[in-house]
Structure 1
Amino acid sequence: MTALALPDAVLPDAPGPIQTLIAVTQRLATVIMAENDHLRSRKRPADARPMIEEKGRLAAAYAREMEVMRKNGGVRAFGNANELRILKRETSLFQTALDDHRKLLERARAITEGIIKAVGDEVTRQNQSAMGYGKNAAPPRQRSAQPTSLTLNQVV
């Protein structure tokens, strides 16, 4: 998978801090939406590795840009009303993509935990010794549990 192209320039001027933040926000939202589509299509998680790596780089760039602006008077000190309006719109789209991403990850985690619990319960059930009495009404001797083999089918 190749890296996704940056969106067309939103503002024609040389990129300043606001324009850079807008571009990073757009790109980060695009990568997160692509990852969301990947999660919805139930493709192999390993295939999303390039998106995850790019998301990490973009998140670090986003944090750096926000920190620069915070230390220097906030976003209002760097942009005009039009730029701030564009940033607000892009940030809203970004937040929507993040909320969707969180929901997808929570759902995947719940499914995974359910599968792991079901496998553990089945292994426990198979390893339980029969309860009751043995010869001459004596409790049965405890035998050490035999290892339970577990086979998982893997699609490559």
Structure 2
Amino acid sequence: MNNNRINPEEIYLNKNTEAEGILKNRLIGMTLGLFLAHVYVALALYYTSIDDKGYFHTSWLALFGTFVSSMIFCYHIGISKVISEKDNGIYGRYFSPLISPSLWGFVLVVIAVLSVFQWQPWFMPYSAWAWPLTFVSIVIGYFIGPVFDRIFKVIGQFFRRV
């Protein structure tokens, strides 16, 4: 009676070649999503300004494009992590910090701060450092993001007990 059920082990008959092909496609999707997210962030930063009254203006369409591209990136890396960890692969181990919410929260805070600093008179001589600092924040967030995730998880469990 249970002949119609699919056994998870039957999905990948030739595990290595099929899994490698899927991971290569996911890697292309991750790279494309990450590249487009940075392009949209660049557009958002380019169109961001503060007027004479101190009001903040930006391109919300570019920020929406950043969000969609980031979700494409996170989808592909999440699926790839699941496939890789099925047979204890190292792929998920090295790319899993990139789906840390703390990492991307840290990067978004850095981008917001740099977009405000970019138009300040004291920051004008250093404005060429805005984009390199954004990429440095991704590298820093890669290492501190999972740590902050664990800290927030412990804090959340503590407050649920109280």
Q: TM-score, normalising length from structure 1?
A: 0.38
Computing the radius of gyration from Cα coordinates, the structure with the larger value is 1
Q: TM-score, normalising length from structure 2?
A: 0.37
Flag the structure with higher helix content. Answer: 2
